A = this chain, B = another copy of it.
C-alpha cells in the first residue's frame, strides 16, 4: 500500500481540565499541515457526546509523506504544548474500499 493514498484516523482524548489547550493546539496544526507536501485533507472534529474527544480524518498521497509529517516542526511543537494534557491517543492507518 506504500504507493497508494493513505487514510489516517487519529483519535485524541484530552484530559478534561486541558481540553481547550489541546483544542487550540490541534487547530494550530491545520494550516501548516495542509501546506505540507502530500497532504490531501486534514479535517479536525470534536465529538458531540464527549467534548474531550477530537478526531483527525486525513488523507495523504503516500505513507512516506505522512511519515515526514510526523516529525514536522509543528508536530514537535504540538507535542511540547500538550505534554501531560492527553488522556488517550489512538491512530489507524487505512485505505479506502471502493
Residues of A within 8 A of B (CB): 1, 7, 9, 23, 26-27, 30, 43-49, 53-55, 57, 92-98
Contacts and interface: CB of A to CB of B under 8 A. Distances in A.
Q: Which of A47, A53, A57 has the most CB of B within 10 A?
A: A57
Contacts of A30: 98
Contacts of A47: 92-94
Summarize A's interface: helix, strand, loop or mixed.
strand
A88 B33 CA distance: 32
B26 A97 contact: yes
Given A1-B48, A9-B9, A96 B43 contact: yes
A54 B93 CA distance: 11
A43 to B, nearest CB: 6
Contacts of A57: 7, 9, 57
Given A48-B1, A92-B47, A9 B97 contact: no
- Listed from nearest, the 5 A-B pairs whose CB atoms lie closest are A45-B94, A48-B93, A44-B97, A47-B94, A7-B45
